[in-house]
Structure 1
Amino acid sequence: MSANEDPKALAELLWGLRKPPSRGPRPAFDVAQIAETAVQVADAEGLEAVSMQRIAAELGFTKMALYRYVNDKAELIAVMIEAAVGAAPRLSGVAGWRAKLEEYARELSAAWRLHPWLPSVTTGDRVMGPRETAWPESALSALADTPLTEPERLDAIMLVSNHIRATHAAATPGTQIWTDGDAAPIMRDLLLLNADRFPLLATTHATPSATTTQEFGLHAILDGFEHAITQRIPKQ
């Protein structure tokens, strides 16, 4: 959390505890409309395109008028996150903790692909809104019946979420030499031409993978959870 952010003010805004202004003209918009407009700008042009001035202009009022709804850009980003994360996964209809965590990971990855700016702004010590808070709550429910302790369950959820975050860029076309994009064919040819210098990468490019980086890593993590859980189940 940056020095300019007020965690108490953010909590009041995100959790509906902030009292609306009692003076001045009747509000023409609400925070939800502002957040949705900002999300649309970020999705189309990137987070760097979002500013108080830009969002005010998109909504047709002045930057000063926007301050009646959000105090600064930090609050604007916070309401954007809350709007963009969407509804938390419903895992009650999925059988087994492993399948539930796999579904959670899929939905988290899908949300971040829909809003590619989300992973970069959902890190660190910060106040989350109720919609975003519902995501780890849902994930924790997957491990409720396992012998893992409560702190271990939280650590497990963090491992899964951080893995999806770490592989988010690799799953985006053009961000790595092994993903599809404009540079990928060029890099592939260069590696093959220079196979004597980069023999392992050249061989890897010549051998198609049955799974993605994200899938392989997730399976490895869940295998580790399964080993820990199995070791704690009393033997008959």
Structure 2
Amino acid sequence: MTRQPKEADEVTQPPEGPAAGPAPEPGSPAWWQARYAERDRRRPRAGGLTLARITAGALELADRDGLDALTMRSLGEHLQVRHTSLYRHVASREELLIETVDHMLGEIRLPSLTAGWQAGLEEGAREFRRVLGAHPALVPALTGGQLLGPHALRAREHALGQLLDQGWAPRTAVHVYLTVTHFVIGSAVLDSGGAARTGPQRAAMTELFAHLSPVTHPVVRRHADLLNAPDGVDEFTFGLRVLIAGLGRLHTEETEA
């Protein structure tokens, strides 16, 4: 096997001051704070290996081969660099996954709420789900750390700012943002974990329900067709519509109080 030439890396300035204590948990607020400080010290070298290139390659590899296939060594081969050079930017596969998730979130097109906060929330939720649906292999990694990277904070800043501009009280705006965000993530996690039902799967479940005992499960048996009619998109659309309608009622109550 031909040895790949070593690619120039960014130069990291050594941290100043006394030796630090135990390293913070990857994905935690303390970890992200240290990452931001490190990026401020980093001086890129022209043509060097960058974190953006690493995470873009990791996303490509996960999309193509699945999350289990994404290792530091396989990523080095994919990028045609020595895998040891990756450790200048991410200390472990766990850190790589956290940074790659944030890179994925950079694909989200931020909506405008000029047409109203309801339309903006719906557009933003659908766009978020679109991006997660385009990269299903990486969805399980969403729960590996808190979403506090630069692209996640970009979306958070935008959504909260728009909600506040539309008249939401700060405390409620935070709850609205988190509720909608977690709804989208929960839907995507269920879909990626096999809860999403294909047409044949729904037909098989209908068959199962239809043959249940009318004594023990009369309601499920009677509504077997209805219970298995919606697919993942239908469920998401209905849930989002109900969620936004409920938030609209809450907003009216707060503004009239």
Q: Is the 8 A contact 1:11 1:17 kept in 2?
A: yes
Q: 1:129–1:172: structure 2 CA closer, same or farther, 3 Å change rule?
A: closer
Matched residue type, 2:225 = A
Equivalent of residue 135 in structure 1, options 155, 162, 168: 155
Counterparts of 1:48 and 1:34, CA distance in 2: 17
Task: Tell me whether 224-233 or 142-151 shows the greater mean CA deviation.
Answer: 142-151
Counterparts of 1:33-52 in structure 2, within 5 Å, are 33-52=53-72
Against the structure 1 CA distance between its residues 66 and 145, is the aligned structure 2 distance closer, same or farther, given a 3 Å change threshold? closer
* Segment drifting more, 46-55 vs 85-94: 85-94
The CA distance in 2 between the partners of 1:152 and 1:125, in whole Å, is 24
Q: Contact 1:173/1:180 (CA < 8 Å) preserved in 2?
A: no
Q: Deviations over 1:172-209 (max 9, x none)?
A: 69525xx2155433332222222535444444441345
Aligned-pair RMSD on alpha carbons?
A: 3.1
Q: Which residue of 2 aligns with 1:187?
A: 205
Partner of 1:206: 225
- SS of 2:184's partner is helix
| 1:205-229 CA distance string (max 9 Å, x none) | 4134598221222222222211121
What is the alpha-carbon distance in structure 2 between the residues aligned to residue 43 and residue 165 of structure 1?
18
Counterpart residue type for residue 78 of structure 1: I
Deviation at 1:41, TM superposition (A): 1.4
Shift of 1:77: 1.7
Cα gap change, 1:7/1:144 in structure 2, threshold over 3 Å: closer, same or farther?
closer
Conserved 8 A contact 2:111-2:120: yes
Paired with 1:129 and 1:170, the residues of 2 have a C-alpha distance of 23
Match of 2:178 among 135, 143, 158: 158
Question: Are the structure 2 counterparts of residues 133 and 192 from structure 1 closer, same or farther at C-alpha, using a change threshold of 3 Å?
Answer: same
CA distance in 1, matches of 2:84, 2:145: 29
Q: Tell me which moved more, 132-141 or 26-35.
A: 26-35
Q: Do residues 62 (structure 1) and 82 (structure 2) align?
A: yes
Displacement of 1:166 after TM fit? 1.7
The amino acid across from 1:107 in the alignment is E
Instruction: Determine helix, strand or coil for the equivalent of 2:36.
Output: helix
Aligned length: 227
Distance 1:198 1:56, change over 3 A: farther
- Quote the Cα distance in structure 2 between the aligned partners of 1:17 and 1:67: 18
Note if contact 1:173-1:181 (Cα within 8 Å) is conserved in structure 2: no
Match of 1:7 in 2: 32
Corresponding position of 1:223: 245
Gaps of 5+ in 2: 1-22
When residues 174 and 120 of structure 1 are mapped into structure 2, their CA distance, relative to the original with a 3 A threshold, is closer
Residues 82 and 152 (structure 1), Cα distance of their counterparts in 2 relative to 1, 3 Å cut: same
Q: 2:115 aligns with which of 92, 95, 111?
A: 95
What displacement does 1:158 show?
0.6
Give 1 or 2: higher helix fraction: 2
Give the TM-score normalised by the residue count of structure 2: 0.73
Question: TM-score, length-normalised on structure 1?
Answer: 0.79
The match for 2:40 is 17
